[in-house]
Every structure is written in structure tokens, then in C-alpha cells.
């Protein structure tokens, strides 16, 4: 079995896929194109190169994931090796009690009415 390839830089879409932050490389590239991936505070295109020490912020499902590149890789590896290639600095997820109190609309329900929006604003503490 050939040894893993460790270079000093890698594409951000390939690296995030290789360390298992995204399920597919195309999903990683799509997140970059949509502006959900930032490298050192700058919105990243899929071909942007990352190096050890770079901070990557990924916005996914309403939560932010913050990781620091420890080692660059190009091929997808197993979870133990992937864990050695990054430092996870993400904040802990909110407690389930907080998630349960957040207002949610059913899929396909359309935009909220003015009354529903005011109720949501009042619940979130955004009243005048």
C-alpha cells in the first residue's frame, strides 16, 4: 500500500472532503461556490489552496464549524488519520432544550405572515 501523500498545500474543496467535513467532493465544492466556506476570514473558491495553520470556517445546517489545518492531504482517509489532520475549534452545539424552543416552519409552508414574523421576532428578543 503506497504511503499517504502529505504536501504543503491542497485545494480547499479536496482537503475538506479528505478530512471528512463533507460527504462528497462535489458537495465541498458547492459549499465553496455558495459562500459557506471561509479561509482565514475570506470567502473561499473551491480551488483556493490551504496550508497548515489556516483557519477554515464552514457554515452548515445553521451551525458554524471552525477547524485549523494541521496537515494537508489530497485523498480521503479513515477517521483516525483525518482527525490528525485538523484541529477542531468549533463551539459546542447548543443544548437540545434551546433547539426545541426555536421556531420552525414546515417545509413548503411558504413565507411567514406578518403576524408570524412579529411573533418570531418577539420570541427571539428582537422587539422594538
**DSSP characters for 47-71?**
T-EE-TT-EEEEEETTEEEEEEESS
The pLDDT of residue 40 is above 50: yes
Q: Please state, for a pLDDT cut of 90, what percent of the chain lies above it.
A: 59
Q: What is the pLDDT of residues 59-100, one digit of tens each?
A: 987 789 999 999 999 899 899 999 999 999 998 887 877 767
Check pLDDT > 90 for residue 52: yes
Say if residue 6's pLDDT is above 70.
no
Strongest mean pLDDT among 1-10, 28-37, 53-62: 28-37
Cα 119 → chain centroid: 30
Query: Do 28 and 13 meet the contact criterion of CB atoms below 8 Å apart?
Result: yes
The answer, yes or no, to whether residue 10 has pLDDT greater than 70, is yes
The pLDDT of residue 47 is above 90: yes
- Statement: the pTM of the whole predicted model exceeds 0.85: no
CATH of domain 10-93: 3.10.290.10
Return the domain boundaries, the chain.
Answer: 10-93
Tell me the pLDDT band of 1, cut-offs 50, 70 and 90. Answer: very low
Please check the confidence at residue 5 and state whether its pLDDT lies above 60. Answer: no
Q: Of 31-35, 93-97, 119-123, where does mean pLDDT reach its minimum? A: 93-97
Residues 6+ apart with CB under 8 A from 38: 44, 56, 57
- Provide the CB-side half-sphere exposure for 118 (13 A, CA): 4
Please give the Cα distance from 61 to 74 (Å, whole number): 25
Amino acid at each position: 500500500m503506497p504511503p499517504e501523500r502529505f504536501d504543503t498545500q491542497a485545494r480547499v474543496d479536496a482537503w475538506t472532503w479528505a478530512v471528512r467535513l463533507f460527504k462528497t467532493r462535489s458537495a465541498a465544492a458547492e459549499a465553496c461556490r455558495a459562500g459557506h466556506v471561509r479561509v482565514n476570514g475570506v470567502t473561499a473558491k473551491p480551488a483556493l489552496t490551504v496550508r497548515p495553520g489556516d483557519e477554515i470556517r464552514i457554515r452548515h445546517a445553521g451551525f458554524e464549524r471552525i477547524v485549523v489545518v494541521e496537515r494537508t492531504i489530497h485523498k480521503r482517509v479513515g477517521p483516525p488519520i483525518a482527525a490528525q489532520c485538523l484541529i477542531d475549534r468549533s463551539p459546542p452545539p447548543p443544548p437540545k432544550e434551546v433547539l426545541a424552543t426555536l421556531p420552525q416552519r414546515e417545509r413548503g409552508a411558504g413565507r411567514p405572515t406578518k403576524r408570524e414574523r412579529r411573533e418570531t421576532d418577539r420570541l427571539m428578543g428582537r422587539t422594538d
